[in-house]
Chains A and B, each alone.
Chain A
Amino acid sequence: DIQMTQSPSSLSASVGDRVTITCRASQSISSYLNWYQQKPGRAPKFVIYAASSLQSGVPSRFSGSGSGTDFTLTISSLQPDDSATYYCQQSYRTPYTFGQGTKLEIK
């Protein structure tokens, strides 16, 4: 199975900050990397597919980059509503696997 590792596991940042979350795959997955946002008690919400393609309706402050084994999710100017746990997920090969999550808190 392809292992996905996110860093950091948690972070705290202020409104307006630029935030970057990293996701690393245990082998090359080309650009088959997706990002999700999950708030407590809610289902995950799809944010980015194919490493860098933003889902319709997602604010443009969110962006994704990377290919191969190393990927990043960036929030250019953090907003209070961005407080959530973020997960990366590979769709290169089944079993599809997720990172362990990054909990983002607003200071």
Chain B
Amino acid sequence: EAQLVESGGGLVQPGGSLRLSCAASGFSFSTYWMHWVRQTPGKGLVWVSRIKSDGSSTTYADSVKGRFTISRDNAKNTLYLQMNSLRAEDTAVYYCARDPDLYSSGRYYSFFESWGQGTLVTVSS
């Protein structure tokens, strides 16, 4: 059974940095696109970033572009999110999610098939 376990969250001051990790097990990690999604009580679910299965392509939400970097180590079955220049509005529970990029009826469908339990990031002085 697929399992995703996030770690690395915590309290950080504005302007600080944090690196989140997402350890994957129970599936062939290197064949899946992976995403980070965050959730705040006020703004619901917000997609943050994605990375292709081989790490060759990354995409970011405008709100984090230039500050966050998504990466992966397929040999270690681990996804990362390096977060720099953190702001109060980055406070959220961060989830990693697996995306099969499923090919069906002539199209590729992206969806968040499995999720981790989430890790809380609090940006505050």
Contacts and interface: CB of A to CB of B under 8 A. Distances in A.
Interface stretch (B8-16, B40-48, B73-81): B40-48
A49 B111 contact: yes
A97 interface: yes
A94 interface: yes
Contact of B115 (A44, A91, A100): A44
Indicate the size class of the contact surface on chain B: 20 to 34
A46 B47 contact: no
Interface string A94-107: 11111111000000
B114 A44 contact: no
Main SS at interface, chain A:
loop
Main SS at interface, chain B:
strand
B104 A53 contact: yes
Contact of A91 (B44, B111, B117): B111
A101 B44 contact: yes
A103 to B, nearest CB: 11
Contacts of A44: 45, 95, 112, 115
Interface string A35-67: 010000001111001100101000000000000
Residue among B61, B111, B114 with the highest chain A CB neighbour number at 10 A:
B111
Contacts of A89: 45, 47, 111-112
Contacts of A101: 44-45
Contacts of B47: 89, 94-98
Contact of A95 (B62, B95, B114, B118): B62
Indicate the size class of the contact surface on chain A: 20 to 34
B31 interface: no
B88 interface: no
Interface in B96-125: 102, 104, 107, 109-118
A53 B104 CA distance: 10
Given A44-B112, A101-B44, 6 more contacts: A43-B116, A44-B115, A46-B111, A89-B112, A95-B61, A97-B47
8 contacts: A32-B109, A46-B111, A50-B104, A50-B107, A94-B50, A95-B59, A95-B61, A96-B110
